[in-house]
Chain A
Amino acid sequence: MNKLVKLFTKESSLIPLMAILLGLLFGALVMIMGGYNPIIAYASLFKKVFGDLYNFGETIRQITPLIFTGLSVAFAFRTGLFNIGAEGQFVMGSLGAVIIGTQLSLPWYIHAPLAILVGALFGGIWGGIAGYLKAKRGVHEVITTIMLNWISLYFSNYIIANYLREPGQQHSEMIKPTASISLLNWLSEAFGYNARLHWGTIIALIAAFIFFIILWKTKQGYELRAVGFNPHASEYAGMNVNRNIINAMFIGGVFAGLGGAVEILGVFNYQTIAAGFPGYGFDGIAVALIGANTPVGVILASILFGSLTYGAPGMKFGAGVPIEVIRVVIASVIFFVAASGIVTYILSLFKRKKKEVL
């Protein structure tokens, strides 16, 4: 665990933190230019997220899927792969869960875990396909995962519309109560508390821990990191580079698939026939980036990202900031993290200044 802490406390953590700060400052600048008061805006964002227990719970709900997709992208990154397909793997995970959740009747202690597992497997296979195409056919994973995203969207729409549809509705039937992992009923009965909390958040934290164990404690993880850093040396050392590419994409897909599964089983109880992507997979790319591809980093970045997203309407109501400007704020945080070279440069200016003063 020590190593994990180190991974996040070294220099690498300073840069994302600075980037976030710069992003928020830049966002403030944009708000001032637009004639809005950034202090009131950020304060109302803060109030929306932390102001009361209900909203706080809903923020956690917002954060949970980001942890999964962030882990998915980060895991592939560690093996030198760019997984743009967390979106599609997430959708496939939802589909797997909704099929099991609606079609089978089982006792709850089998039903819910099975639905989660099948969702994870669907996501894993979806990632694995991209891995296979890269390893055996040399097709770049960015291209295949983007295409697989679209396929997953229309494929799941097709399955829901034709086999799982709630008559007269634009979504699937409800999952059976035995498949649910929601805490809502229990919480509202016991405390009158209505935020849509669910076991998936705990599963997300466990997934982050498993992420760490796989990468830094298993032979498989040793190989994955080795291939990520240097495929030539890995080949020399007797590792099967192609198999590792497939495994990395499969495991990455499992994380995203889990996210999709718990979102259905814990929050919505059905899957909609969607016109577009839920967006968690794409946000996962930013989360992985901000989190420097470490499990703790991904959790922290998900908190930031989820809070900003969930708190955005607060800014709108509290300070009248239009949603477009809020998007600019979020985008500039991502921009400064992605262009961490700029941040490093600004940091170095500070360091030089300090030296000159001394």
Chain B
Amino acid sequence: MMNDINYVVEMRNITKRFPGIIANDHISFKVRKGEIHALLGENGAGKSTLMNVLFGLYQPEEGQILINEKEVKITDPNVANDLGIGMVHQHFMLVENFTVTENIILGSEPKKGLKINYQEARKTVTALSEKYGLKVNPDAKIEDISVGMQQRVEILKTLYRGADILIFDEPTAVLTPQEILELADIMNNLVNEEKSIILITHKLKEIMEIANSVTIIRRGRVIDSLLVQDTNPDELASKMVGREVTFGVEKKEASPGNNILEVANIFVKDYRGVQLLNGISLEVKEGEILGIAGVDGNGQSELIDVITGLRNADGGKVLLKGNDITNHTPRYITEAGVSHIPEDRHKRGLILDFTVGENMVMETYFYPDYQTNHLLDYQKINQHAEKLIEEFDVRTPSVNTLARALSGGNQQKAIIAREVDKDPDLLIAAQPTRGLDVGAIEFIHRRLVEQRDKGKAVLLISLEVDEILSLSDRIAVIYEGQIVGIVNPKETTEQELGLMMAGAAKQEGAIHHE
């Protein structure tokens, strides 16, 4: 397969500037035919920008691009299409109420007379999906299918247009562990069919498992280009971040105290009457991190919503330090001592069009500390924000910058700063590191452990089994709206957890290792 070592993509000295920043600073990089080439870098390193240049979405100020060893000018995505380049974007670009087939053929429909030949299109789609193992239902509407399947639709879209070079921009960020494995298989199928793949990621594990070579970018520059077989995660991490990174979280033994949070027998139905929480019970003690492991969609979001007052329970009780907070308002519950790092930082966690300063007082703007003569005092608000920015190393040009302009990692740091600063009794962290790079993950993990060591109760919800295993003092496994087992992270394995998460424990009766 790799007998003729010709390069399908070669980018030479690409420079792309944005106002105030050089996103790509003389980047050169080559992709061999039939390989999976990873582009590794922290958030904001310039990976997406480089790929948008390759896909014709941006025009570089300097540099050349060679496709199949011929120089080309990629002035827009149509040119990229014609050159056989396809891109699966970080945010999918699908029409929600069209079927899978309609989405795939959109823009290059097979015609029968004036009408679209849907049957032929469907056949082509089915053939493609079988050839590459991309399981999709060609007649399902996009809004009804899982994120994993939507991604497969995006891949099929590029293949349908005859792409030989596929760019994946952080494809695993939105996937469950199971879907990630499936995606790896798909990528292998693709390279077996002589396709070449560029995989953007900041997850080292994926690179080690899937990629053949890797190019590391930091602050818009190429740091190194390596064969994966010649490197290891530690080397990659330090090249990416520019310093040594410690994996695994260092933490002392927990010394749990009294119950802070007690959730007893909570039931929640959705509007159709489907049971989302099915008599769930758990407790979190002061000085411990309770991790909730589970496959997405087993009631994690609903559980958090009930505890934080964003959704009413149909039955059961939530107690905070012995006081009933069931179905109280979010304001009452935050004031009672609950902080919440929400799973969707753009939907819930931040008001993107507010400044960083304004975001830092989202739950406390009405405190007398921020008023003078009953009017908001922006000087005080901004002073508070400056203190937090300093303390939590939030990188922002100023407190007056809109939250929208911050990178994902810094947005998350801002939320964590705000929530931790309220000095809560209970800190709920839902997917606190989703989409972040190692540097930021390390920081956030340390902060969570620090809260625990201060005697706070921490409730961690994560879809990443690694994260649950390394942070938690106890792990509760959630399955179909119930806790199906509580395990000690030191006495369990990823496999055992995986089985429990898939519902295996339910048949055997709950496992209790305490």
Chain A residues close to B by CB (< 8 Å): 213, 216-219, 221-222, 225-226, 229-230, 232-240
Q: How far is A230 from B346 in the complex, measured between Cα atoms in Å? A: 9
- Cβ 8 A contact of A233, one of B329, B349, B365, B376: B349
Contact with A along B340-353 (1 / 0, CB 8 A): 10100001111111
Known: A226-B351, A226-B362, A233-B350. A217 touches B375 (CB 8 A): yes
Q: How far is A229 from B350 in the complex, measured between Cα atoms in Å? A: 10
Q: How far is A349 from B335 in the complex, measured between Cα atoms in Å? A: 52
Q: How far is A218 from B373 in the complex, measured between Cα atoms in Å? A: 10
- What residue in chain B is nearest A216 (Cβ atoms)? B376
Known: A229-B353, A229-B354, A238-B330. A222 touches B365 (CB 8 A): yes
Q: How far is A225 from B353 in the complex, measured between Cα atoms in Å? A: 9
Q: How far is A237 from B351 in the complex, measured between Cα atoms in Å? A: 10
B354 touches A225 (CB 8 A): yes
Q: With a CB–CB cut-off of 8 A, which chain B residues contact A221? A: 376
Q: With a CB–CB cut-off of 8 A, which chain A residues contact B350? A: 230, 233
Q: How far is A237 from B354 in the complex, measured between Cα atoms in Å? A: 14
A232 touches B347 (CB 8 A): yes
- What residue in chain B is nearest A230 (Cβ atoms)? B351
Q: How far is A240 from B330 in the complex, measured between Cα atoms in Å? A: 9
- Cβ 8 A contact of A238, one of B334, B352, B358: B334
A234 touches B351 (CB 8 A): yes
Q: With a CB–CB cut-off of 8 A, which chain B residues contact A239? A: 331
Q: With a CB–CB cut-off of 8 A, which chain B residues contact A218? A: 374-376
The answer, yes or no, to whether B363 is at the interface (CB within 8 Å) is: yes
Q: With a CB–CB cut-off of 8 A, which chain B residues contact A226? A: 351, 354, 362
The 10 A-B residue pairs whose C-beta atoms are closest, nearest first, are: A238-B331, A237-B362, A236-B348, A217-B375, A238-B330, A229-B353, A230-B351, A237-B363, A219-B366, A232-B347
Q: Besides the contacts A213-B375, A218-B374, A222-B376, what 12 more A-B pairs have beta carbons closer than 8 Å?
A: A216-B376, A219-B365, A219-B366, A219-B371, A226-B354, A230-B353, A232-B347, A233-B348, A235-B310, A236-B308, A236-B310, A237-B334
Question: Shortest CB–CB separation between residue A223 and chain B, in angstroms?
Answer: 8
Question: Shortest CB–CB separation between residue B403 and chain A, in angstroms?
Answer: 10
A229 touches B351 (CB 8 A): yes
Q: With a CB–CB cut-off of 8 A, which chain B residues contact A216? A: 376
Q: With a CB–CB cut-off of 8 A, which chain B residues contact A213? A: 375
Q: With a CB–CB cut-off of 8 A, which chain B residues contact A229? A: 351-354
Question: Shortest CB–CB separation between residue B15 and chain A, in angstroms?
Answer: 16
- What residue in chain A is nearest B350 (Cβ atoms)? A233
Q: Give the size category of B's interface with A.
A: 20 to 34
Contact with A along B351-388 (1 / 0, CB 8 A): 11110001000110110000100111000000000000
Q: How far is A229 from B375 in the complex, measured between Cα atoms in Å? A: 21
A236 touches B349 (CB 8 A): yes
- What residue in chain A is nearest B375 (Cβ atoms)? A217
Q: With a CB–CB cut-off of 8 A, which chain A residues contact B375? A: 213, 217-218
Question: Shortest CB–CB separation between residue B23 and chain A, in angstroms?
Answer: 18
Query: Can you pick out 8 interface pairs between chain A and chain B where the beta carbons lie within 8 Å of each other?
Result: A218-B375, A221-B376, A226-B354, A233-B349, A234-B351, A237-B363, A240-B329, A240-B331
A236 touches B342 (CB 8 A): yes
B376 touches A238 (CB 8 A): no
Q: With a CB–CB cut-off of 8 A, which chain B residues contact A225? A: 354
Question: Shortest CB–CB separation between residue B337 and chain A, in angstroms?
Answer: 13
Q: With a CB–CB cut-off of 8 A, which chain A residues contact B351? A: 226, 229-230, 233-234
Q: With a CB–CB cut-off of 8 A, which chain B residues contact A222? A: 358, 365, 376
Q: With a CB–CB cut-off of 8 A, which chain A residues contact B332? A: 238
Q: With a CB–CB cut-off of 8 A, which chain A residues contact B335? A: 238
B330 touches A235 (CB 8 A): yes
Q: With a CB–CB cut-off of 8 A, which chain A residues contact B330? A: 235-238
A233 touches B310 (CB 8 A): no
Q: How far is A74 from B366 in the complex, measured between Cα atoms in Å? A: 24
Q: With a CB–CB cut-off of 8 A, which chain A residues contact B308? A: 236
B376 touches A236 (CB 8 A): no
Question: Shortest CB–CB separation between residue B49 and chain A, in angstroms?
Answer: 19
Question: Shortest CB–CB separation between residue A103 and chain B, in angstroms?
Answer: 36
Q: How far is A240 from B366 in the complex, measured between Cα atoms in Å? A: 13
Q: How far is A237 from B374 in the complex, measured between Cα atoms in Å? A: 20
- Cβ 8 A contact of A219, one of B342, B349, B358, B376: B376
A230 touches B352 (CB 8 A): yes
Question: Shortest CB–CB separation between residue B429 and chain A, in angstroms?
Answer: 14
A233 touches B362 (CB 8 A): yes
Q: How far is A232 from B349 in the complex, measured between Cα atoms in Å? A: 9
Question: Shortest CB–CB separation between residue A10 and chain B, in angstroms?
Answer: 12
Q: With a CB–CB cut-off of 8 A, which chain A residues contact B348? A: 232-233, 235-236
- What residue in chain B is nearest A225 (Cβ atoms)? B354
B363 touches A238 (CB 8 A): yes
**CB interface residues, B 224-281, toward A, < 8 Å:** none
Q: With a CB–CB cut-off of 8 A, which chain A residues contact B362? A: 226, 233, 237
Q: With a CB–CB cut-off of 8 A, which chain B residues contact A240? A: 329, 331
Q: With a CB–CB cut-off of 8 A, which chain A residues contact B331? A: 238-240
Q: With a CB–CB cut-off of 8 A, which chain B residues contact A233? A: 347-351, 362
- What residue in chain A is nearest B309 (Cβ atoms)? A238
Q: With a CB–CB cut-off of 8 A, which chain A residues contact B374? A: 218
- What residue in chain B is nearest A236 (Cβ atoms)? B348
Question: Shortest CB–CB separation between residue A90 and chain B, in angstroms?
Answer: 29
Q: How far is A273 from B366 in the complex, measured between Cα atoms in Å? A: 46
Q: How far is A141 from B274 in the complex, measured between Cα atoms in Å? A: 32
Q: How far is A104 from B358 in the complex, measured between Cα atoms in Å? A: 47
Q: With a CB–CB cut-off of 8 A, which chain A residues contact B352? A: 229-230
Question: Shortest CB–CB separation between residue A232 and chain B, in angstroms?
Answer: 5
**CB interface residues, B 281-298, toward A, < 8 Å:** none
Q: How far is A235 from B342 in the complex, measured between Cα atoms in Å? A: 12
Q: With a CB–CB cut-off of 8 A, which chain A residues contact B353? A: 229-230
- What residue in chain B is nearest A221 (Cβ atoms)? B376
Contact with A along B298-319 (1 / 0, CB 8 A): 0000000000101000000000
Question: Shortest CB–CB separation between residue B102 and chain A, in angstroms?
Answer: 27
Q: How far is A221 from B374 in the complex, measured between Cα atoms in Å? A: 12
Question: Shortest CB–CB separation between residue A326 and chain B, in angstroms?
Answer: 38
Q: How far is A235 from B352 in the complex, measured between Cα atoms in Å? A: 15
Q: How far is A60 from B354 in the complex, measured between Cα atoms in Å? A: 36
Question: Shortest CB–CB separation between residue A251 and chain B, in angstroms?
Answer: 16
B376 touches A217 (CB 8 A): yes
Question: Shortest CB–CB separation between residue A228 and chain B, in angstroms?
Answer: 9
Q: How far is A236 from B334 in the complex, measured between Cα atoms in Å? A: 10
Q: How far is A61 from B350 in the complex, measured between Cα atoms in Å? A: 44
Q: How far is A319 from B193 in the complex, measured between Cα atoms in Å? A: 74
Q: How far is A240 from B332 in the complex, measured between Cα atoms in Å? A: 12
Question: Shortest CB–CB separation between residue A52 and chain B, in angstroms?
Answer: 43
Contact with A along B398-430 (1 / 0, CB 8 A): 000000000000000000000000000000000
Question: Shortest CB–CB separation between residue B439 and chain A, in angstroms?
Answer: 26
- What residue in chain A is nearest B374 (Cβ atoms)? A218
Question: Shortest CB–CB separation between residue A356 and chain B, in angstroms?
Answer: 12
Question: Shortest CB–CB separation between residue A292 and chain B, in angstroms?
Answer: 14
- What residue in chain A is nearest B362 (Cβ atoms)? A237
Question: Shortest CB–CB separation between residue B253 and chain A, in angstroms?
Answer: 34
